Amino acid sequence: MAKILIVDDNPLYRELAGTLLADAGHDILVAEDGEQALRVAGQELPDLILMDLSMPEMDGVATMHRLRQIEATRQTPVVAVTAYPEKWAHKVVASEDFQGFIEKPFRPDTFVDEVLTYL
Protein backbone atom coordinates (compact mmCIF):
# COMPACT_ATOMS: atom_id res chain seq x y z
CA MET A 1 0.00 0.00 0.00
CA ALA A 2 1.00 3.61 -0.45
CA LYS A 3 2.28 6.29 1.92
CA ILE A 4 0.08 9.36 1.34
CA LEU A 5 0.64 12.85 2.74
CA ILE A 6 -2.54 14.90 3.24
CA VAL A 7 -1.86 18.65 3.43
CA ASP A 8 -4.89 20.68 4.51
CA ASP A 9 -5.48 23.46 7.02
CA ASN A 10 -8.97 22.09 7.73
CA PRO A 11 -8.78 19.35 10.38
CA LEU A 12 -12.10 17.84 9.28
CA TYR A 13 -10.86 17.26 5.74
CA ARG A 14 -7.56 15.86 7.03
CA GLU A 15 -9.45 13.46 9.27
CA LEU A 16 -12.01 12.39 6.65
CA ALA A 17 -9.47 11.87 3.87
CA GLY A 18 -7.06 10.16 6.26
CA THR A 19 -9.70 7.80 7.62
CA LEU A 20 -10.94 6.82 4.16
CA LEU A 21 -7.43 6.14 2.88
CA ALA A 22 -6.27 4.39 6.07
CA ASP A 23 -9.34 2.14 5.98
CA ALA A 24 -8.28 1.19 2.43
CA GLY A 25 -4.90 0.10 3.85
CA HIS A 26 -2.70 3.11 3.12
CA ASP A 27 -0.21 4.74 5.48
CA ILE A 28 -1.29 8.30 6.18
CA LEU A 29 0.83 11.34 6.97
CA VAL A 30 -0.70 14.74 7.68
CA ALA A 31 0.37 18.36 7.58
CA GLU A 32 -1.74 21.40 8.38
CA ASP A 33 0.24 23.96 6.37
CA GLY A 34 2.88 24.33 3.69
CA GLU A 35 5.88 24.56 6.01
CA GLN A 36 4.87 21.41 7.87
CA ALA A 37 4.25 19.68 4.53
CA LEU A 38 7.80 20.44 3.41
CA ARG A 39 9.22 18.98 6.63
CA VAL A 40 7.06 15.84 6.60
CA ALA A 41 7.57 15.17 2.89
CA GLY A 42 11.34 15.60 3.19
CA GLN A 43 11.56 13.22 6.14
CA GLU A 44 8.95 10.61 5.23
CA LEU A 45 9.15 10.59 1.39
CA PRO A 46 5.47 9.90 0.63
CA ASP A 47 4.35 8.12 -2.54
CA LEU A 48 1.67 10.78 -3.14
CA ILE A 49 0.77 14.21 -1.76
CA LEU A 50 -2.79 15.54 -1.64
CA MET A 51 -2.35 19.32 -1.46
CA ASP A 52 -5.04 21.77 -0.40
CA LEU A 53 -4.54 24.89 -2.48
CA SER A 54 -6.06 27.52 -0.21
CA MET A 55 -3.98 27.68 2.98
CA PRO A 56 -2.69 30.61 5.04
CA GLU A 57 0.96 31.67 4.93
CA MET A 58 2.00 29.47 1.98
CA ASP A 59 -0.69 28.25 -0.42
CA GLY A 60 -0.62 24.84 -2.08
CA VAL A 61 0.85 26.14 -5.35
CA ALA A 62 3.80 27.76 -3.55
CA THR A 63 4.29 24.65 -1.41
CA MET A 64 4.29 22.40 -4.47
CA HIS A 65 6.90 24.61 -6.17
CA ARG A 66 9.09 24.37 -3.06
CA LEU A 67 8.70 20.57 -3.07
CA ARG A 68 10.01 20.56 -6.66
CA GLN A 69 13.19 22.33 -5.50
CA ILE A 70 14.03 19.51 -3.08
CA GLU A 71 15.79 16.55 -4.68
CA ALA A 72 14.02 13.96 -2.50
CA THR A 73 10.51 15.24 -3.38
CA ARG A 74 11.10 16.48 -6.93
CA GLN A 75 9.32 13.49 -8.51
CA THR A 76 6.64 12.90 -5.87
CA PRO A 77 3.16 13.16 -7.45
CA VAL A 78 1.16 16.10 -6.07
CA VAL A 79 -2.61 16.28 -6.53
CA ALA A 80 -4.33 19.62 -5.99
CA VAL A 81 -7.38 19.60 -3.70
CA THR A 82 -9.65 22.63 -3.27
CA ALA A 83 -13.17 23.82 -2.59
CA TYR A 84 -12.59 26.79 -4.91
CA PRO A 85 -11.86 25.26 -8.32
CA GLU A 86 -12.77 28.40 -10.24
CA LYS A 87 -10.19 30.43 -8.29
CA TRP A 88 -7.35 27.91 -8.64
CA ALA A 89 -8.08 26.09 -11.91
CA HIS A 90 -5.93 28.35 -14.09
CA LYS A 91 -2.92 27.98 -11.77
CA VAL A 92 -3.30 24.21 -11.60
CA VAL A 93 -3.80 23.82 -15.34
CA ALA A 94 -0.87 26.13 -16.05
CA SER A 95 1.40 24.15 -13.76
CA GLU A 96 2.75 20.91 -15.13
CA ASP A 97 3.89 19.99 -11.63
CA PHE A 98 0.43 18.93 -10.41
CA GLN A 99 -0.59 15.45 -11.50
CA GLY A 100 -4.30 16.09 -11.04
CA PHE A 101 -7.10 17.86 -9.29
CA ILE A 102 -9.74 16.77 -6.76
CA GLU A 103 -12.62 19.08 -5.90
CA LYS A 104 -13.91 19.50 -2.34
CA PRO A 105 -16.21 18.48 -0.96
CA PHE A 106 -15.21 15.09 -2.27
CA ARG A 107 -17.54 12.11 -2.28
CA PRO A 108 -16.50 9.55 0.34
CA ASP A 109 -17.78 6.67 -1.79
CA THR A 110 -15.49 7.53 -4.73
CA PHE A 111 -12.62 9.40 -3.04
CA VAL A 112 -10.24 6.47 -2.54
CA ASP A 113 -10.62 5.26 -6.11
CA GLU A 114 -10.04 8.80 -7.38
CA VAL A 115 -6.88 9.16 -5.30
CA LEU A 116 -5.55 5.77 -6.42
CA THR A 117 -5.64 6.85 -10.07
CA TYR A 118 -2.66 9.11 -9.27
CA LEU A 119 -0.42 6.38 -7.85
Domains of the chain and CATH, by start: 3-116 (3.40.50.2300)
For residue 23, pLDDT over 90 is answered with yes
CB count within 10 Å of CB 71 equals: 8
Among the listed residues 5, 10, 118, 109, the one whose alpha carbon sits nearest the alpha carbon of residue 54: 10
Alpha helices by DSSP H, listed for the chain, are 11-23, 34-44, 60-68, 85-94, 108-116
- Count Cα atoms within 13 angstroms, Cβ side, for 18: 16
pLDDT, tens only, 28-84: 999 999 999 999 999 999 999 999 988 988 999 899 999 999 999 999 999 998 887
